[in-house]
Amino acid sequence: MEIEIVSDIKNPLTKRREVKFKVSQDSSTESKAALKEALCKRLSENPEVAIVEKVEQLFGERTSIGIFYAYKDKESLEKTEPKYLLKRQGIISEASKDAGKTEASPKEEVKKEVKKEEKKEEKK
């Protein structure tokens, strides 16, 4: 696998480094995980706050082009990138996804209590 950096831009608004790259493969298309590891090593970035956004195979060639983002911190990564992408690349887990959910709202709890009381009255 041979990686060529096409462009490297620092975006202060999103607190990330945006890298467009080109990869030449000997066999099949490299996985996003393998590309992320290689790019983090080459660019001296932290793999915990980096993500490979897209990898596209060029038709009839053993070359792929892609987009790689390296964020300053995990907070800006989670704020900017869609949750499904973070989950797919193993940055967030199911447990953290469930932790964000809240219990039933107070209105829903009151409705449940009222229904329970109505059922008790009907039984009498």
The CATH number given to whatever domain includes residue 45 is 3.30.70.330
- Hey, CA dihedral for 35, 86, 71, 6, is it positive or negative? positive
Asked if residues 14 and 81 have their Cβ atoms less than 8 Å apart, the reply is no
Q: What does the angle CA 72 – CA 78 – CA 81 come to, to the nearest 5 degrees?
A: 100
**pLDDT tens for residues 14-73?**
899 999 999 998 877 788 888 999 999 999 998 888 999 999 988 888 899 999 999 999
Range of the domain at 39: 2-120
Q: Is 54 within 8 Å of 70 (Cβ atoms)?
A: no
Taking the model in full, what pTM does it have?
0.69
Whole-angstrom CA distances from 106 to 97, 103, 111, 112, 113 are 22, 9, 9, 10, 11
Domain total in the chain: 1
